[in-house]
Amino acid sequence: MLSTLRKIVQEVNSAKDLKTALTIIVQRVKEAMGSQVCSVYLLDPETDRFVLMATDGLNKRSIGRVSMAPNEGLVGLVGSREEPLNLEDAASHARYRYFAETGEERYASFLGAPIIHHRRVMGVLVVQQKERRQFDEGEEAFLVTMSAQLAGVIAHAEATGSIRGLGRQGKGIAEARFVGVPGAPGAAVGKAVVVLPPADLEVVPDRAVADIEAELALFQRALEGVRGDMRSLSSRLENQLRPEERALFDVYLMMLEDASLAGEVTTIIKSGQWAQGALRQVVTDHVRRFELMDDAYLRERASDIRDIGRRLLAYLQQAHQTTLTYPDNTILVSEELSPTMLGEVPEGKLVGLVSVLGSGNSHVAILARAMGIPTVMGAVDLPYSKIDGIDLIIDGYHGEVFTNPSELLRRQYADVVEEERQLTRGLDALRALPCVTLDGHRMPLWVNTGLLADVTRAQERGAEGVGLYRTEVPFMTKERFPSEKEQLAIYREQLAAFHPLPVTMRTLDVGGDKALSYFPIKEENPFLGWRGIRVTLDHPEIFLVQVRAMLKASEGYDNLRILLPMISGTHELEEALHLIHRAWGEVRDEGVDIPMPPVGMMVEIPAAVYQIRDLAAQVDFVSVGSNDLTQYLLAVDRNNPRVADLYDFLHPAVLQALRIVVDGSHAEGKPVSICGEMAGDPAAAVLLMAMGFDSLSMNATNLPKVKWLLRQVSLAKAKELLEQLMRIDNPQVIHSALNLALRNLGLSRVINPAATIQA
């Protein structure tokens, strides 16, 4: 059963469009269940009717013609009750409805399962049988499992279908909207540039080429390259492999001949497809055919073809990389954006980012916010490999992507972009003004840094200190651990740039979704695994070198503060403090005269919330990492788009935890700040100030907006609002009440300039 399921899903997955996918579904399910009919009805949201979209067994001419409302027929019943229905004698059911055009009267038994994707009923999958037959429990379970697996595939194919089909590369196609999650605020109107991970055939997009001859020549060179590699590999292994084992290389060489794979690729290139796209089509087609074979030996051949495809692709990509051009309004689109991809776009050309995977709390989104680039994350249904070169609009406030936008939408968003530009210009005037509320409360605003560019931006925006310097960023851009000397130089630059303002340097926080290429950590559950302080306490040599570099870098400036990430209890804190003291002693023994800097800890793990007094007593300051704290309190992976709508830093449990941390730290006489993304959200910042945070640390891009908003409210009013919101038990209601309150005060303009666009 499982292998049948797997095969069907695999086949449906690689169907070229929704229609083909549905046809495969009905044929294969009918075969697998041994029934006489299998049909798929999909819910048309416009008419709110279940429309027969594919059938194997009923009259094909009724496809697209027969439909029923949710309160009609058995299909409507399955869809509206969201439950399977298994009837031996369908005609005797009160809800049975007969459609002459389907020839349905001949079928007595009926088994239907709803197709549900992300809580939304998308349709109904039905099998029918002439004779009376009660489908057994196993059959019912099979259909339910099948439809659950197919829901995602159908949703994806539906979304793809809406931008595909007419013309090459989606040109001339009507506007389509794809929903993701907000990554970084702002809107952008631009052109999609799809970037691909190296040598990953599956994600290669289709792309039309004008110069077919050049593309053929490119492919010939790639063939030559791989042939050469195969020959030298074969001769290098001459002494290690038996001749029959080395025959594999001959098989590879054969596949590269014109009569085989190479010939097929060439034919597709001649139709105007670029070499990489042609290669993907041919290879995936062959791989699929091999994978469906029952013979285990032949199935294994699929991996040889995949391998040869990857090798050819690597050559083609090498040649392409040097020719990739970025338009002036590049919107970078990738399955999984990485910080290095952002770095490759020439300065000034990048206006937006879209990542199919990841969520608003992924580190690449944090980076995008710091750089002020509108970003949409988790656009899981976006058929990104088909949209290279087409016009896009991205709305980073709502997390939406529009492909081939209409002229009207384009004008609306161009207005939003212009309004943002003016707002930013208007906020520049605030640079030299302090962040003081209407009733005179002073709220220090600090910045989070990591990139070099953050320093200039922070200074331009009038930051009063660095609340979080993510030291892992310089570690991530290297190919090995930086030496003490290298680190010293990097840290000194940071300390000098802000001197005499304080700079809070966090000790290395890797693991989770922050990987060092030279120190890979492979885990099933990385966010609950070896990350942050756990890694550095297990590697005191890394920790000590880093702290020594920080201490030495601060000589003469004395504006260093050290911050410890991911503390879960006093044992870790004590160990880390012990190591810091040891490093300080060593550095002083070497003749560097520096005072012991203030040391603080991050509250990111719920355990630390409940031990806040014990922990705060041992440090000089506390800083809340609300990104991780929210993730762990709500058990919601900060990177997973599927649960992104559950990730909410205004959840009542998060607000209550924050209050415990503020009160506990103050009870120990220690200042407390917050450096998660929440601090840079203007509306949330009002609440954090009211709670009593002593400073807020955020990305430089948002600092002027937060300052503008806090200067328009009084602390008394903010406290009143907080008290009112803390009594609400529902996160959504908290959001609406907060937005409403700010709107009533006339303060919503910095929150979302795109709020009025109705797409």
Active-site annotation, residues: 363, 675
Residue 604 or residue 677: which is nearer to Mg ion going by CB? 604
Three-class secondary structure assignment of 633-689? HHCCCCCCHHHHHHCCCCCHHHHHHHHHHHHHHHHCCCCEEECCHHHHCHHHHHHHH
Residue 36 or residue 626: which is nearer to ligand PEP going by CB? 626
Residue 568 binds which one of ligand PEP, Mg ion, none, with CB within 5 to 8 A depending on kind?
Answer: none
Residue 420 binds which one of ligand PEP, Mg ion, none, with CB within 5 to 8 A depending on kind?
Answer: none
The nearest distance, CB 684 to ligand PEP, in angstroms, is 13
Give the binding range for Mg ion (CB under 5 A) out of 35-43, 255-263, 578-586, 597-605: 597-605
Tokens found for residue 401: 């992507």
Give the binding range for Mg ion (CB under 5 A) out of 13-21, 220-228, 518-526, 598-606: 598-606
Note whether 454 binds Mg ion by CB under 5 A. no
Task: Tell me which residues in 151-180 interact with Mg ion (CB under 5 A).
Answer: none
Residue 215 or residue 604: which is nearer to ligand PEP going by CB? 604
Residue 57 binds which one of Mg ion, ligand PEP, none, with CB within 5 to 8 A depending on kind?
Answer: none
Q: Which residues bind ligand PEP (CB under 6 A)?
A: 366, 468, 470, 509, 604, 625-628, 675-676
Residue 67 or residue 695: which is nearer to Mg ion going by CB? 695
Binding mask 393-432 for Mg ion (x = CB under 5 A): ----------------------------------------
Binding mask 550-589 for Mg ion (x = CB under 5 A): ----------------------------------------
Residue 626 binds which one of ligand PEP, Mg ion, none, with CB within 5 to 8 A depending on kind?
Answer: ligand PEP
Helix (H) or strand (E) holding 127: strand 120-129
Kindly list the distances between the CA atom of residue 246 and the CA atoms of 236, 255, 306, in Å, as whole numbers in the listed order.
11, 15, 18
Residue 366 or residue 654: which is nearer to ligand PEP going by CB? 366
Note whether 502 binds Mg ion by CB under 5 A. no
The nearest distance, CB 560 to ligand PEP, in angstroms, is 18
Residue 511 per-residue DSSP state: B
The nearest distance, CB 361 to Mg ion, in angstroms, is 9
Kindly list the distances between the CA atom of residue 314 and the CA atoms of 197, 272, 523, 549, in Å, as whole numbers in the listed order.
11, 21, 28, 40
Residue 335 or residue 628: which is nearer to Mg ion going by CB? 628
CB atoms within 10 A of CB 508: 25
The C-alpha atoms of residue 316 and residue 620 are separated, in whole angstroms, by 56
Which is nearest to 372 in space by CA: 1, 54, 688, 701? 701
Residue 391 binds which one of ligand PEP, Mg ion, none, with CB within 5 to 8 A depending on kind?
Answer: none
Residue 670 binds which one of ligand PEP, Mg ion, none, with CB within 5 to 8 A depending on kind?
Answer: none
Residue 675 binds which one of Mg ion, ligand PEP, none, with CB within 5 to 8 A depending on kind?
Answer: ligand PEP
| Exposure string over 369-387, b if 16+ CB within 10 A, otherwise e | bbbbbbbbbbbbbbbbbbb
Query: What secondary structure does DSSP assign to 195-210, as a single string?
Result: E--TT-GGGPPP-B-S
Binding mask 306-345 for Mg ion (x = CB under 5 A): ----------------------------------------
Which is nearest to 189 in space by CA: 409, 419, 342, 380? 409
Binding mask 609-638 for Mg ion (x = CB under 5 A): ----------------x--x----------
> How far is C-alpha 53 from the geometric centre of its chain's CA atoms?
32
Residue 374 or residue 532: which is nearer to ligand PEP going by CB? 532
The nearest distance, CB 625 to ligand PEP, in angstroms, is 3
Helix (H) or strand (E) holding 309: helix 296-321
Angle at 697 between CA 695 and CA 703, to 5 degrees: 105
Pairing verdict, β 672-674 and 621-624: parallel
The C-alpha atoms of residue 544 and residue 271 are separated, in whole angstroms, by 61
Residue 84 per-residue DSSP state: -
The nearest distance, CB 339 to ligand PEP, in angstroms, is 13
Beta bridge partner(s), residue 54: 40
Residue 395 or residue 572: which is nearer to Mg ion going by CB? 572
Q: Classify residue 725 as left (phi > 0), alpha (psi -120 to 50) or beta.
A: alpha
Residue 91 per-residue DSSP state: G
The nearest distance, CB 470 to ligand PEP, in angstroms, is 5
Binding residues for Mg ion, total number by CB under 5 A: 3
Residue 76 or residue 358: which is nearer to ligand PEP going by CB? 358
Residue 583 or residue 675: which is nearer to ligand PEP going by CB? 675
The C-alpha atoms of residue 399 and residue 383 are separated, in whole angstroms, by 16
Residue 676 binds which one of Mg ion, ligand PEP, none, with CB within 5 to 8 A depending on kind?
Answer: ligand PEP
Beta bridge partner(s), residue 193: 332
Tokens found for residue 398: 């709502």
The nearest distance, CB 366 to ligand PEP, in angstroms, is 6
Cis before 500 (ω within 30):
yes
The nearest distance, CB 446 to ligand PEP, in angstroms, is 12
Count the helix, strand and coil residues of the chain and give each as a percent rounded to the nearest 5.
50, 15, 35
Query: What secondary structure does DSSP assign to 431-450, as a single string?
Result: TTS--B-TT--B--EEEEE-
> How far is C-alpha 421 from the geometric centre of its chain's CA atoms?
27
Write the burial class of residue 172 (CB in 10 Å: 0-12 exposed, 13-18 middle, 19+ buried).
exposed
The nearest distance, CB 625 to Mg ion, in angstroms, is 4
User: Which residue's Cβ has the minimum distance to ligand PEP?
Assistant: 625
Contacts 24+ apart (CB under 8 A), 741-748: 742/683, 742/686, 742/709, 745/712, 745/713, 745/717, 747/709, 747/712, 747/713
Which is nearest to 697 in space by CA: 339, 448, 412? 448
The C-alpha atoms of residue 122 and residue 148 are separated, in whole angstroms, by 11
The C-alpha atoms of residue 655 and residue 733 are separated, in whole angstroms, by 14
Note whether 139 binds Mg ion by CB under 5 A. no
Give the binding range for Mg ion (CB under 5 A) out of 213-221, 272-280, 483-491, 596-604: 596-604
Residue 355 binds which one of ligand PEP, Mg ion, none, with CB within 5 to 8 A depending on kind?
Answer: none
Residue 360 binds which one of Mg ion, ligand PEP, none, with CB within 5 to 8 A depending on kind?
Answer: none
The nearest distance, CB 369 to ligand PEP, in angstroms, is 11
The nearest distance, CB 543 to Mg ion, in angstroms, is 17
Phi first, then psi: what are they for 694, rounded to 5°?
Answer: -85, -25
Residue 611 binds which one of ligand PEP, Mg ion, none, with CB within 5 to 8 A depending on kind?
Answer: none
Residue 173 or residue 563: which is nearer to Mg ion going by CB? 563
By CB under 5 A, name the binding residues for Mg ion: 604, 625, 628
